[in-house]
Each structure stands twice: as C-alpha cells, then as structure tokens.
Amino acid sequence: MGWTREPIVVVLGHVDHGKTSLLDKMRGTVVARREAGGITQHIGASYFPLNAVLETCRRLLGEIRVQLKVPGLFFIDTPGHQVFANLRKRGGSIADMAVLVVDVMQGIQEQTVESIQLLRARKTPFVVALNKIDMLSGWRPIEGAPLRESLDNQTQSVRNALEAKVYNVVGQLANFGFQSDLYSRITNFARTLAIVPVSAKTGEGVADLLLVILGLAQAYMSTQLEAHEGGAEGSVLEVVEEVGLGATLNAVINDGILRVGDKIAVLGRDGPIVVKVRALLMPKPLDEMRDPRDRFRLVEEVRASAGVKVAGEGLDAVIPGSPLYVVSDEERLEEIFERLRSEVGEFVVRTDKVGVVVKADTLGTLEAIVNYLRERSIPIRTADIGALSKKDVMESAAVALKDEFLGVILAFDVDVPKELEIEAANRGVKIFRGEVLFRLVDEYLQWVEKTREERERASFERLVKPAKIKVLEGLVFRKSNPAIFGVEVLSGELTPHISLMNSLGKVVGVVTQLQNMGRPVASASAGERVAISMREPVIGRHIKEGETLYVSMPEGDARLLLNYFQDRLSEDAKAVLKEIVEIKRKVNPLWAM
C-alpha cells in the first residue's frame, strides 16, 4: 500500500525580492487558522496540512468546489537556487514545483535568470509570485485579502500600473521561451505559466498563490506524488555540525519511509558509503519554538514528504546534494552503489583532455555548472567537489601551456588557500571565484571574449595593412637621396617604415617619413595628401610622377588578413588587398595561399 505525498515546493528568485518574507507570510497566514490544524515544522521545510490551507483559502476566497486529494503542501523554507540545486535526482529534481519570486518593481533580475535556467534544466514546473504589489504608487492595502478584493479596492490608474508590470514580466519570460499570463486569465495551465500578484508584507494574494499551487499539484502530479511503503529515497540538503551529535545530514525524503536503525547509502568524498541511522530528529512544533533549551525532538520514523535531520557515524564525509537510498537488502547494495556512481559520474569529471578545471561546494551546484558549460561546448578537464588543491592548479597549468583560455579554474563557493592563489598566479593560471552560479561562468566567458579581442586587436595592429597611393605631378621636392615628393592616399592607411611597390610588383623602396604642412605625422588615410621621403628610389627612374604605388605587404601578413582579419578591414582596404594579391600572384601564383 502506498499513499499520496505532499508536493515538494521550493522558493527561488533574486536577492531581496522577498522569498523569505513570502514564506513567512504564508506560514503566518496558515498558522493563524489554528483551529484548522497548524504547520508542522521539518528540517529546512514546513508542512502545510490541506485542511489548514483550505480553511485559509475558504475564508478568503469563498467555497472551494474542487475535491482535492493532495494531503497538503511541503515548502522548502530555506529559499535559494543553491538549495534547489541540492534537491537532485537523476534527470531532474526531487522538488515537484517551484515558486519563482519576482519583484513587481524590478522585474526579472540576474539571480532570477539563474533560477529560470536551473528550473528549465531540471524541467521543474513553477509559478511566478509577482511580489511587492503594495509598493505600487497609490496602492491601498487590505491586510490578507484575496487578489480580486484588493484590485476592487484600487483606482483604475493603479490597476493599469499593475497590468503594465505584469505585461513587462510576460515579455521577459517570453525571452526564455515561456508563455505566461495573469493566473485568472489562464484556461490551460499546462501550456501557460501562471503569474500571481502578491504582497509578502500585507498578505494580499497569498491565498490565491496557495490555491494555484494546490490546483496545479492536483491536476498534473497525481502519479508523481505516489509514495511507496518501501525504504526511503531522498536527497542530502546539507551536512551540519550539531553539538553532541557531530556531523548530521539535513535531508529531504521524497519517497518511502526512513526509520531509526535503517542503513542508508549516500555519496562520500571518496565514493558511495553506507551509514546506519542512529537517530532521526525533527524541530519542535512552531508554537514550542520559543523554548530554546531543546530545539529538536526524536522520532522513530518519517514518511515522504519530509525534511529530517539524520544522525549517524561518518556523516562528515557525505557530499551535500548526494542522493540518499535506504539499503533494505544487502544483495542490492552493489546495485545501489552503481546507481550512486552513475549519478555522480555524470558530473564529477576526471580526464586528460584540454579543458577547464571546475570545483564546487556541493554535488547539486557542480551538476548545474557542468551542464551550463556543456551547453556552451566548453571542454572540462576535471570537475569535482571540495576545496581547491595543488593538483587542481597543476592540472590547469598543464592545460594553460596548450590553451591559455582553457587553462583556468572555476571555483564556486569553495575555499581557495592563499598559497594556491600565489602558485596559480606564478604558473599563469587564472582563478574565477564566485557565489552566483551562472555569473561565475559568464564572467569566465566574458574574460575569454575580452582577452581574445584584445589579443586579436594587438595581432591585427602589428600587421602591415594594404594601402594604395598616387604620386602627385609637380610636387617633387627632391629627386633622390632621399627622394621627397607629394602623394595622395587613394585607399587604406599609409604609415612610415613600410615598403612600396609599383603595379608590376617591383619594390621601389621604404617610406622613412610622412609630413603634412612641414610637420611629421604618424599616418595618412584615404583622401589625405602628404609629402613622403624615401632613400632608395630616384624620381623619374624608379618612380614616375602620376604613378600608382602599393604597400608591398609581407606574405604572412597578407595571409592572416585574408584568412582571419578581413572583418576588421574597411571595404576600400579589402579592395586594395585584392589588388595587391593579384599583383603578387602574377609573379608567384601561390603567394599568400
């Protein structure tokens, strides 16, 4: 016999957009209906019983005619994308749904984008809570009111302002491939993302949000929410030191039953391990939390959905984000180990290929970074969990000798000892550090792009560029030793210290100086007239008045311009380059090939 478990709901969004405040308001709204049954607190989560949620919604929204079978809502109340990253299972997340909190005044921000990318990668359904509607100019709040009642209390200009904000977010979400709309206008929730305006401060719209979440879970997740009587499965949120207990696991159980005395298989830093559950601890009920003497109560078992603290030996080696499986049959142990190895093997990478070195704090964040890098076709040499080591620096240094843009370390929220920073700098290895997942990768990509652009620009600047000039008649100031005469630049740019050739490809000498109005100049562009001096030629013998001359380009420079830098040349410079190549190939058909 199984049962229908509560959907696991995680809250995500940009910093300061009100994730924690919204959770607190939802908790407070439901707790206020004490007679309907309050909230049960779990490790890192809060369980909202169905009768408490319905009573809250009924009092605010009227009679609810739909027969709901979902037993309640299980909110992960440590909001953030890093927590969500650790709610992992092969091919997705153990979170059934998410609430993406967006500030109505600011719209989608950097960490909102990061959350959307994570949700899309995990294929997790979500609802947008458009928070802080009370901040709209002229908003008249009604504490705890449903959205319709709140909107009826506003002026038309305020309603129009909210509509404009909703439309803005609809447009932003469309850029990520999501069709969305105000929840009250949606007829097909499977195709359209619901936007629910709320205020975490006044509680307006909170009942609407709870009912939308319940409705979506009921309509689309009935099979997904079937729990089984067997051994538990779940995910390790974090590893926490507790006084008197040592290292403990804060875990979320999404299937089955976990009991004291069970053996659990989890991932340690050196591979899968088995640990015996010594104790299971839950926080005391909310109304008893004022008593600080004993924060936890012991329980004998927990059933999905649940957040629980697990005590046992050797838990300090467990990786946050690790899957958790109860080992009920010793014969299946190797099968479970293999499942764990295959799950971690997707993201813990150890190769000899030329690629970046990745270090992350948890398996969930490592998975997110590795997937993000793979999407962008960035090769990975090693990807692992934990503090940076000397071996990581040496691996990256070996790569840097072959490709400086891949010989880097991406360190997400991990310790980087000072001596290793110095070692990396001495070996020419750049370390990128950060606590915002996708920003770290984007900073690396921006550095690659900027550095490549600088290198290419520097390489381009060193090349001799194509140019064509005309020797002006009647402007020969000295015939030889050095010859000084006037020219007009027809195309390209003329500079000192370059060789000139005639239309037959014969080099006539090197430009030593350019002058304009008797003063030396560094260059002359198309349309300009300047005087140039050259030591080698004699005017009338080697160069004739009215003659067209070209820059005699080194073959290697011409080849680079033809193959790599054409987009940096102006259209007239490209035309001159073509003329120069044609002249040179009359003498050498393979020139600059």
Number of CB atoms found within 10 A of residue 574's CB = 16
Residue 14: HSE in the Cβ half-sphere, 13 Å Cα cutoff: 17
In a domain, 582, yes or no: yes
Q: Is residue 357 in some structural domain? A: yes
* pLDDT band of 39, cuts 50, 70, 90: low
How confident is the model at residue 449, as a pLDDT? 94
Report the percentage of the chain scoring pLDDT > 70. Answer: 95
**Residues 396, 441: one domain?**
yes
Q: What percent of the chain has pLDDT over 90?
A: 63
**What distance in Å separates the CA atoms of residue 373 and residue 83, rounded to the nearest whole number?**
20
Statement to judge: residues 413 and 331 lie in one domain = no
Residues 526 and 557 in one domain: yes
Please tell me whether residues 64 and 213 are part of one structural domain: yes
Answer whether residue 187 shows pLDDT above 70.
yes
pLDDT digits (tens, 9 = 90+) for 370-428: 888 988 899 999 999 888 999 999 999 999 999 999 999 999 988 899 999 999 999 99
The Cα 282–Cα 306 span in angstroms is: 10
176, 253: one domain: no
DSSP category for residue 49: E
Burial track 231-268 (b if 16+ CB lie within 10 A, e otherwise) = bbbbbbbbbeeeeebebbbbbbbbbbbbbbebbbbbbb
Domain boundary among 344, 367, 383: 344
| 310 in any annotated domain | yes
Residue 587: is its pLDDT beyond 80? yes
Examine the domain organization and report whether 250 and 389 are in the same domain.
no
Do 28 and 142 belong together in one domain?
yes
In a domain, 593, yes or no: no
For the chain, the average pLDDT equals 89
Give the count of beta carbons closer than 10 Å to the beta carbon of residue 529.
Answer: 14
| Apex 290 CA angle, 288 and 293, nearest 5 | 90
Tell me the whole-structure pTM to 2 decimals: 0.78
The mean pLDDT value for 360-377 works out to 88
- Amino acid identity, residue 164? A
196 forms beta bridges with 129
Beta bridge partners of 59: none
Q: How confident is the model at residue 158 (pLDDT cuts 50, 70, 90)?
A: very high
A 10 A CB-CB count for 324 gives 24
User: If you average pLDDT over residues 189-202, what whole number do you get?
Assistant: 95
Residue 1 pLDDT grade (very low, low, confident, very high; cuts 50, 70, 90): low
Angle at which helices 390-400 and 418-426 cross, to 10°:
20
Whether residue 121 is contained in a domain is answered as yes
> Residues 272-286: what's their mean pLDDT?
88
**According to the model, what pLDDT value does residue 61 have?**
65
Q: Is residue 274 situated within a structural domain?
A: yes
Are the beta carbons of 212 and 183 closer than 8 angstroms? yes
pLDDT for the residue 277: 97
Residue 226 phi, psi (nearest 5): -80, 120
Decide which of 434, 461, 488 is a domain's last residue: 461
- Claim to verify: residue 204 and residue 270 sit in the same structural domain: no
Confidence band for 345, pLDDT divided at 50, 70 and 90: confident
Q: How confident is the model at residue 17 (pLDDT cuts 50, 70, 90)?
A: confident
Identify the domain containing residue 258 by its residue range: 233-344
330 vs 538, higher pLDDT: 538
Residue 103 CA to residue 53 CA, distance in Å, equals 24
- Give yes or no: residues 302 and 358 share one domain: no
pLDDT, average across residues 20-26: 85
What pLDDT is attached to residue 550?
96
Same domain, 389 and 303: no
Residue 37 has pLDDT above 80, yes or no: no
The CATH number of residue 541's host domain is: 2.40.30.10
In a domain? residue 31? yes
* 25 lies in some domain: yes
Domain count, the chain: 4
Domain boundary among 344, 366, 391: 344
Q: Are residues 264 and 367 in the same domain?
A: no
Whether 198 and 241 map to the same domain: the answer is no
- Cα–Cα distance, 148 to 158 (Å, whole number): 14
Place 447 in a pLDDT band, splitting at 50, 70 and 90.
very high
